[in-house]
């Protein structure tokens, strides 16, 4: 039995049947003939369980992200305009998601792109909306695995299209191959056609985007996410330092 079947079996509507017909399990039991048939609420239960099996959690490092706290307060000192755009977006999160509007952040390593994208995803999750959060390399691995099963890839794309917000971190971090470009296009195009929002981050410079991600994909991303929000500055991770030579 697949993991998803198990999730489906385990899921029942905790508030009972929204249509008042079954016991919340999605099945109507006929006691006389001892047979079960699908309740009309079952498709909703399935849709919820599908979204649940995608990754909707904020990684630990970004769980406390907030406009009131560092590093966002630090970023707002050097990039007030960018923070204001994120604020404006999150204030109307419900409407933006309903209209399929997203955002994307571009900039050098360690400038706060992922932090701001997580802030948006957290706002969406707090508002009770469904979010799938992946780095592009992880998302592609998932597709590689899904391709091994007959309808696996179509099914995964359907699920990725079902969530209210798809968060793709590190666009362009994967080597460009025809396969990668095709998969990215399938995902972005499916959401574009369904008018669903995307939040993305990238290290690529604006003039590298088409070359690295494919012009058709970038054209759709621009429709969904609007203008790139640039974040510049020094790498705030400041990890590696070369020690001064002992004299």
Q: Choosing among ligand ATP, Mg ion, Zn ion, none, which partner's interface includes residue 210 (Cβ < 5 to 8 Å by kind)?
A: none
Q: Choosing among ligand ATP, Zn ion, Mg ion, none, which partner's interface includes residue 183 (Cβ < 5 to 8 Å by kind)?
A: none
Q: What is the dihedral of CA 172, 57, 228, 177, to 10 degrees?
A: 20
Residue 184 is inside which H or E element, if any? helix 178-194
Closest to ligand ATP by CB, 75 or 187: 75
Q: Which of 8, 12, 17, 120 binds Zn ion (CB under 5 A)?
A: 17
- Using an 8 Å Cβ cutoff, are 183 and 140 in contact? yes
Q: Note whether 237 binds ligand ATP by CB under 6 A.
A: yes
Query: In the complex, what is the shortest distance from the CB of residue 112 to Mg ion, in angstroms, rounded to a whole number?
Result: 8
Q: Note whether 114 binds ligand ATP by CB under 6 A.
A: yes
Strands (E), 75-216: 103-107, 131-135, 165-171, 197-202
Q: Note whether 106 binds Mg ion by CB under 5 A.
A: no
* Cα(164)–Cα(128) distance, integer angstroms: 10
Q: Note whether 22 binds Zn ion by CB under 5 A.
A: yes
Burial of 203 (0-12, 13-18, 19+ CB in 10 A): middle
* Cα(195)–Cα(164) distance, integer angstroms: 10
Closest to Zn ion by CB, 38 or 84: 38
Q: Note whether 82 binds Mg ion by CB under 5 A.
A: no
DSSP designation for 246: P
Interface residues with ligand ATP (CB under 6 A) are 71, 74-75, 78, 107, 109-115, 201, 203, 236-237
Q: Which residues are near Zn ion by CB under 5 A?
A: 17, 21-22, 39, 41
């Amino acid at each position: 039995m697949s993991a998803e079947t198990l999730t489906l079996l385990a899921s029942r509507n905790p508030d009972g049947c929204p249509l008042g017909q079954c016991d919340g399990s999605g099945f109507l039991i006929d006691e006389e003939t001892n047979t079960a048939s699908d309740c009309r609420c079952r498709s909703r239960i399935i849709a919820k369980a599908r979204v649940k099996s995608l990754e909707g959690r904020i990684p630990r490092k970004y769980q406390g992200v907030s406009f009131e706290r560092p590093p966002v307060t630090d970023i707002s000192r050097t990039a007030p305009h960018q923070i204001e755009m994120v604020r404006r977006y999150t204030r109307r999160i419900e409407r933006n998601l309903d209209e399929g509007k997203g955002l994307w952040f571009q900039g050098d390593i360690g400038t706060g792109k992922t932090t701001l994208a997580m802030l948006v995803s957290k706002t969406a999750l707090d508002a009770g909306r469904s979010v799938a959060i992946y780095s592009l390399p992880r998302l592609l691995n998932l597709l590689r695995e899904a391709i091994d099963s007959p309808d696996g890839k179509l099914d995964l794309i359907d699920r990725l299209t079902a969530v209210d917000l798809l968060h793709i971190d590190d666009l362009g971090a994967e080597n460009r191959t025809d396969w990668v470009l095709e998969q990215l296009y399938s995902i972005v195009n499916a959401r574009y056609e369904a008018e669903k929002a995307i939040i993305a981050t990238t290290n690529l410079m604006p003039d590298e985007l088409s070359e690295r991600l494919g012009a058709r994909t970038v054209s759709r991303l621009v429709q969904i996410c609007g203008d790139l929000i640039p974040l510049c500055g020094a790498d705030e991770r400041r990890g590696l330092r070369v020690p001064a030579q002992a004299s």
